Amino acid sequence: MSDQNEVPAVGGKSFTAVAINSASKAGEWIKTKLGNHTSLSLKYSAQDLVTEVDKGAETMIRNLVQTHFPHHSFLGEEGVEPGPEASDRALQSVRDAEYLWVVDPVDGTTNFVHGFPFFSVSIALAHKGEVIVGVVYDPIRDELFVAEKGKGAYVRGRRTQVSEEQTLRDSLLATGFPADPNYALPINMRGLQALVPQVRNIRSGGSAALHMAYVAAGRLSGFWEYGLNSWDLAAGALLVTESGGQVTDTKGNPYHLGVRHAAASNGHIHEAFVKVLEKAESDV
């Protein structure tokens, strides 16, 4: 905070306080719009949806963040052209920023559109590429998951801790069905086919950020998905590691903002988990 640029424009709120405030305000507003959205369009594919609520929530979060930190960079899903290449380019253009907010205003838009009550607001702050604050808010359950680098992660005022399962056999995993039908979906399906018979069961709730928060809270043993974006993963990744878990790409390499094919777990099962994914990837 020594840099003059980092002096907040309004008040002296901490990064975490601004992240929490923005996620809660946006989440409350999103909840009032459940069942009331007025526009629905497709983005990258027939499975990639956007409503005016996604855009409105992102604008709200951007305005709140910029009121406090006008010199920080901002990467929000709705400010980026659809598709993996455009997402990569957008991240590259801001990745080295001193402070970068990485935001998914509604993670789980399909659920929001259908009234399936499992979606979240995901807000992360990265300092020189390293995530230092992560907030995932579920407005339906009013659950706010908060992590600060080196200080742990919390939900409902209690420290979150990953689960204890030691083997895939005892594990409950989650995954998603990616919107990219060309690369990510088929490869994810191969992982699914390989893992189903080896684990206790697999869920697919439809919000990557909330799945990551559930791994952090010990409600899931692990989560993986191919073809995600920085805004799906950044906040959840810090939640998981600050809760004692592990986050890598699907080959076991360390997580960073550019990771798109991600595996998160309680750590105990990680090696076995990633091994199955790697084998499924290469067994074409």
Selection from ligand IPD, Ca ion, none that 235 binds (CB < 5 to 8 A by kind) is none
Per residue, the 3-state secondary structure of 58-75, as one string, reads HHHHHHHHHHHCCCCEEE
Total binding residues toward Ca ion, as defined by CB under 5 A: 5
Using CB under 6 A, pick the residue from 208, 220, 237, 269 that binds ligand IPD.
Answer: 208
Asked whether position 56 contacts ligand IPD by CB under 6 A, the answer is: no
Give, rounded to a whole angstrom, the gap between the first and last alpha carbons of the chain: 50
Give the shortest CB-284-to-ligand IPD separation in angstroms. Answer: 21
Of 131-139, 155-163, 232-240, 263-271, the segment contacting Ca ion by CB under 5 A is 232-240
Query: What residue spans of 11-139 are helical by DSSP H?
Result: 15-32, 52-68, 84-94, 109-114
> Does residue 77 touch Ca ion according to CB under 5 A?
yes
Contact 213, 136 (CB under 8 A): yes
DSSP track, 237-265: HHHHHHTT-EEEETTSPBP-TT--SEEEE
- Return the residue of 108, 139, 222, 245 that touches ligand IPD, per CB under 6 A: 108
107 binds ligand IPD per the rule CB under 6 A: yes
d(CA 280, CA 268): 20
Nearer to ligand IPD, 121 or 131 (CB): 121
> Considering only 31-39, 105-113, 139-147, 239-247, which stretch makes contact with ligand IPD by CB under 6 A?
105-113
Nearer to ligand IPD, 75 or 244 (CB): 75
Out of Ca ion, ligand IPD, none, which partner does residue 206 contact, by CB within 5 to 8 A per kind? Answer: ligand IPD
Applying CB under 6 A, among 22, 51, 109, 250 the residue interacting with ligand IPD is: 109
255 close to 281: Cβ distance less than 8 angstroms: no
Q: What is the side-by-side strand order in the sheet with 99-107?
A: 73-76, 99-107, 120-127, 130-138, 143-148, 152-155, 158-159
How far apart are the C-alpha atoms of 153 and 133, rounded to whole Å? 10
Exactly one of 87, 163, 207, 250 binds ligand IPD (CB under 6 A); that residue is: 207
| Dist. CA 150–CA 65, nearest whole Å | 23
Q: Please tell me the count of residues contacting ligand IPD according to CB under 6 A.
A: 14
* Binding-site partner at residue 78 among ligand IPD, Ca ion, none, CB < 5 to 8 Å by type: none
104 binds Ca ion (CB under 5 A): yes
Write the CB contacts of 89 (distance below 8 Å, at least 6 apart in sequence).
none
From Ca ion, ligand IPD, none, interface partner of 207 (C-beta below 5 to 8 A by class) = ligand IPD
- 163-202 positions binding ligand IPD, by CB under 6 A: 176-179
Helix (H, G, I), strand (E, B), or coil: what is residue 81? coil
Compute the distance between CA of residue 127 and CA of residue 191 in angstroms, rounded to an integer: 33
- Residue 59 or residue 67: which is nearer to ligand IPD going by CB? 59
Q: In whole angstroms, how far apart are CA 23 and each of 57, 69, 137, 234, 235?
A: 9, 16, 6, 14, 12
Cβ-based nearer residue to Ca ion, 107 or 138: 107
The residues that touch Ca ion, with contacts defined as CB under 5 A, are 77, 104, 106-107, 232
Q: Using CB under 6 A as the criterion, which residues of the chain lie in contact with ligand IPD when the complex forms?
A: 104, 107-109, 176-179, 206-208, 225, 228, 232
